[in-house]
Amino acid sequence: MKREMGIARCGLACCLCSENDKCGGCASDGCPGTAWCENRKCSIEKAVDGCYACGESCSKGLLGKIKPAGFRAFIRRYGMEELLDCLERNEKNGVVYHKEGIIGDYDGFEDAEALIAFIRSGKI
């Protein structure tokens, strides 16, 4: 885990991404989503660190998917440091963020609450 990379503006975990060895994350100038990422553009326009820091409820861009929406909800409820602590603990216990491409143990949940429970427990 590269904890210093933190969480993307949409809520995804740059710190665990399999691409983080060649991507600086969405907070960097080298972000691969600069041209197309609605969440990056919107949070920059609103001058907030990410969607998790915005008071609006929306499903723009990646927030229409369970994983980023669940991570965003987790941060709003428990805070960024708690999310990073849980992700780090889960990784040490064998939970994998990306197994096949960008799909891993944090994918496949039916709703954000089930994902949040998994993040907190590390158990499906």
Question: What is the helix (H) or strand (E) element at residue 88, kind and residue range?
Answer: helix 80-92
The residue among 89, 86, 93, 88 whose CA lies nearest residue 115 is 86
Amino acid at 40: R
CB contact at 8 A, 59 and 69:
yes
- For the beta carbon of residue 122, count every other beta carbon within 10 angstroms: 16
Range with the lowest mean pLDDT among 2-6, 34-38, 65-69?
A: 34-38
Burial class (CB in 10 A: 0-12, 13-18, 19+), 105: middle
For the chain, which residues make up each domain, given as ranges?
3-121
Identify the bridge partners of residue 100 per DSSP, sorted by sequence position.
103
- In tens, the pLDDT along 47-94 reads 999 999 998 888 888 899 999 999 999 999 999 999 999 999 999 999
